[in-house]
């Protein structure tokens, strides 16, 4: 792992339910990255990037199976992008008789890691638990940014998950989302985007971790997605972005990976067996 990792956040805009077309667009994106001089070490695409979000009854036909993940890994590996480049891609995945909202990490023609969304929203316009099964595991993996954890959208709206990825000793946390744009602040920023920034900045500061956020762009069934992305270092400071010419609204971040977690910092949940202590507290009457 080098001291600096180039992270490309792509607010990928899929065609709802069009698996073949979305794969073709992914292949085109990979070839554009390979031909560019930007040379990212990590490429992050949003939640359900290969299917679209408002799937409803299209879930079954839009879902991928394990053999198709292997095909995606091969397509990315053959695109000309360096073998060490990691890809984080959101997609629906069928396992057995259930479909999960997943974040899959690809590298070197292989599947490096998979996270199934744990918290499925069931409020407002969201009804995910009707169409998706709930994940049951939270694991880390050795990635370009060190020990890394994945969260998918609603996962990151539960503060206990921020604690959990700290307890797992993740150095970096990647959050992918398909979060609709809502409201406007006095600074003419979407209120939804501001809330994402404030929340994840608090997590980064509390637990001394890097946070990478990537939301999708475009309009789907009349719903606007803002295509925002941002990165915080372990001190909760913004990492400056460079505009990428590879994809509209894509941003390139140079992240110093060697910073890692601040061991001994007050917010580090591994500091004093905090997880064990909380388990004991929560078990009390």
Strand order of the sheet with strand 140-143?
A: 140-143, 146-152, 172-177, 210-215, 229-232
- Judge whether 235 and 205 are in contact, CB under 8 Å: yes
Residue-wise pLDDT tens digits, 129-144:
999 999 999 999 999 9
Rounded to the nearest angstrom, the gap between the alpha carbon of residue 240 and the centroid of all alpha carbons in its chain is 19
Cα-based distances in Å from 116 to 43, 120, 130, 245, 256: 19, 10, 16, 31, 28
Give the pLDDT score at 1.
Answer: 46
Residue-wise pLDDT tens digits, 16-52:
999 999 999 999 999 999 999 999 999 999 999 999 9
Q: What is the CATH number of the domain that holds 44?
A: 3.60.110.10
Please report, rounded to a whole number, the percentage of residues in the chain having pLDDT higher than 70.
93
Q: Which domain holds residue 155?
A: 4-283
- For 132, the token pair is 């998706």
- For 284, the token pair is 């009390």
Please give the model's pTM, rounded to 2 decimal places: 0.93
Give the pLDDT score at 268.
Answer: 57
Q: How many other C-beta atoms are found inside a 10 Å radius of the C-beta of residue 79?
A: 18
DSSP designation for 184:
B
Give the pLDDT score at 259.
Answer: 53
Out of 153, 154, 171, 214, the active site residue is 153
- For 249, the token pair is 């609204």
Catalytic annotation present for 153: yes
- When divided into structural domains, the chain yields a total of 1
Does the pLDDT value for residue 270 go beyond 70?
A: no
Residue-wise pLDDT tens digits, 193-221:
999 999 999 999 988 899 999 999 999 99
Residue 74 CB partners (closer than 8 Å, separation 6+): 109
Residue 266, classed as helix, strand or coil, is coil
Out of 9, 47, 86, 214, the active site residue is 47
Out of 19, 86, 102, 117, the active site residue is 117
Catalytic annotation present for 39: no
Give the pLDDT score at 263.
Answer: 54
Catalytic annotation present for 19: no
- pLDDT band, very low/low/confident/very high, at 264 (cuts 50, 70, 90): very low
């Amino acid at each position: 792992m080098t001291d600096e990792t180039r992270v490309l956040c792509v607010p990928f805009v899929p065609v709802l339910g069009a698996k073949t077309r979305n794969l073709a667009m992914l292949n085109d994106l990979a070839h554009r990255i390979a031909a560019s001089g930007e040379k990212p070490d990590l490429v992050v695409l949003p939640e359900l990037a290969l299917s679209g979000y408002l799937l409803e009854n299209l879930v079954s036909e839009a879902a991928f199976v394990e053999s198709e993940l292997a095909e995606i890994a091969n397509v990315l590996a053959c695109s000309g992008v360096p073998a060490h480049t990691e890809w984080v891609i959101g997609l629906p995945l069928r396992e057995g008789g259930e479909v999960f909202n997943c974040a899959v990490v690809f590298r070197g023609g292989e599947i490096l890691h998979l996270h199934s969304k744990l918290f499925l929203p069931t409020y407002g316009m969201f009804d995910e638990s009707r169409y998706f099964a709930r994940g049951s595991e939270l694991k880390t993996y050795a990635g370009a940014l060190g020990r890394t954890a994945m969260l998918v959208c609603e996962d990151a709206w539960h503060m206990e998950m921020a604690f959990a990825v700290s307890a797992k000793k993740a150095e970096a946390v990647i959050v992918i989302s398909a979060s609709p744009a809502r409201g406007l602040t006095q600074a003419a920023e979407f209120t939804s985007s501001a809330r994402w920034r404030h929340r994840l900045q608090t997590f980064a500061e509390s637990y001394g971790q890097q946070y990478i956020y990537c939301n999708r762009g475009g309009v789907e069934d009349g719903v606007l997605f803002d295509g925002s992305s941002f990165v915080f270092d372990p001190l909760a400071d913004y990492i400056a972005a460079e505009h990428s010419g590879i994809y509209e609204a894509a941003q390139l971040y140079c992240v110093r990976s060697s910073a890692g977690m601040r061991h001994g910092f007050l917010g580090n949940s591994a500091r004093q067996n905090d997880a064990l202590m909380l388990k004991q507290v929560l078990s009390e009457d």
